[in-house]
């Protein structure tokens, strides 16, 4: 699977660990930055992640910041992206099954690496259920409908 990952400075270590682990799992991973712990603005990296999800360069995205909140808000500014803030595998699974999420966000200051890996695994392995959920997902990108 083609996966893009981005963070702010607070989540550099978790981003690097997840990136390397995903590559070991056989995924193609695009690390969209940043590369250092120098202070950056999370919206810049959230917007970059949303762009590659929206244009199809990546199939799924992982957004990380200190809490996961700010970067999830920035990613969700793009109507083609459905990013869910998750903290455990059940929410990561349900966001795929019911909401067809194509991106998840997590907080590096709140979620340890083992839990983050469990969330990513659930996110990547769960299929969208479709059916009655499709109508609702369609409204997320097209609220007028």
Task: Select which of 27, 95, 98, 119 is catalytic.
Answer: 98
Active site residue 65: yes
Tell whether residue 66 is among the known ligand binding residues. Answer: yes
Tell whether residue 70 is among the known ligand binding residues. Answer: yes
Tell whether residue 132 is among the known ligand binding residues. Answer: yes
Active site residue 98: yes
Task: Select which of 65, 95, 103, 119 is catalytic.
Answer: 65
Tell whether residue 136 is among the known ligand binding residues. Answer: yes
Nearest to 76 by CA among 134, 140, 138: 140
Tell whether residue 33 is among the known ligand binding residues. Answer: no
**Cα-based angle 66, 72, 78 (whole degrees, multiple of 5):** 150
- Evaluate whether 110 touches 87 at the Cβ level (below 8 Å): yes
Other Cβ atoms within 10 Å of 57 Cβ, number: 11
Q: Which residues are annotated as a binding site?
A: 8-9, 66-70, 99, 109, 132, 136
Q: Which residues are annotated as a binding site for D-ribulose 5-phosphate?
A: 8-9, 66-70, 99, 109, 132, 136
What is the set of active-site residues?
65, 98
């Amino acid at each position: 699977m083609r996966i893009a990952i981005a963070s702010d400075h607070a989540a550099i270590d978790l981003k690097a660990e997840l990136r390397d682990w995903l590559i070991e799992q056989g995924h193609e991973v695009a690390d969209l930055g940043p590369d250092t712990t120098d202070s950056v603005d999370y919206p810049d990296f959230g917007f970059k992640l949303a762009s590659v999800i929206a244009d199809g360069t990546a199939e799924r995205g992982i957004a990380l910041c200190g809490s996961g909140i700010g970067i999830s808000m920035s990613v969700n500014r793009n109507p083609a992206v459905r990013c869910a803030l998750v903290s455990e595998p059940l929410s990561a699974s349900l966001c795929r099954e019911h909401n067809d999420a194509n991106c998840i966000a997590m907080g590096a200051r709140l979620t340890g690496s083992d839990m983050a890996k469990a969330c990513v695994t659930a996110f990547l392995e769960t299929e969208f259920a479709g059916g009655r959920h499709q109508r609702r997902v369609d409204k997320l990108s097209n609220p007028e409908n």
